[in-house]
């Protein structure tokens, strides 16, 4: 009789083995997003009046000659896209069994996320 035990040291391990690095990346991007959210909330609370000029200043402030507001916003948005990619990719890998459909969904997800990052960059660096 064949041993069909699928646990312990003789278990059958399948998948892409992303594991630890994606776990760490997911947590790091979540920390970046949480920190940036706190910065935005503090900025909104300290804003003297809620108008376009102050809203724009929240994203375009400079420290010396460095456009820190735009850099921080860009880093936060890239972290958001990376966080979304890891999560959505895992959903496709776990729940979509036909390989062709899964690959198509993954490619469409990457294209969509890259498109949003490019669109965001055009917006934030033009103001």
Radius of gyration of the chain (CA): 21
83 annotated as a binding-site residue: yes
62 annotated as a binding-site residue: no
Residues 46, 43: Cα–Cα separation, whole Å: 5
Q: For the chain, how are helix, strand and coil distributed in percent, rounded to 5?
A: 75, 0, 25
**126's tokens:** 């033009």
Which parts are annotated binding residues for a ubiquinone?
95
Which parts are annotated binding residues for heme?
83
Which parts are annotated binding residues?
83, 95
């Amino acid at each position: 009789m064949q041993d069909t035990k699928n646990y312990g040291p003789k278990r059958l391990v399948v998948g892409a083995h992303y594991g630890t690095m994606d776990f760490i990346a997911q947590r790091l991007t979540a920390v970046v997003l949480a920190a940036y959210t706190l910065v935005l909330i503090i900025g909104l609370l300290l804003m003297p009046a809620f108008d376009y000029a102050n809203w724009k200043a929240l994203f375009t402030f400079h420290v010396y000659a460095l456009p820190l507001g735009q850099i921080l916003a860009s880093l936060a948005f890239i972290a958001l896209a990376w966080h979304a990619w890891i999560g959505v990719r895992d959903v496709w890998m776990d729940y979509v069994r036909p390989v062709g459909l899964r690959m198509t969904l993954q490619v469409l997800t990457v294209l969509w996320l890259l498109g949003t990052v490019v669109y965001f960059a055009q917006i934030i660096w033009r103001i």
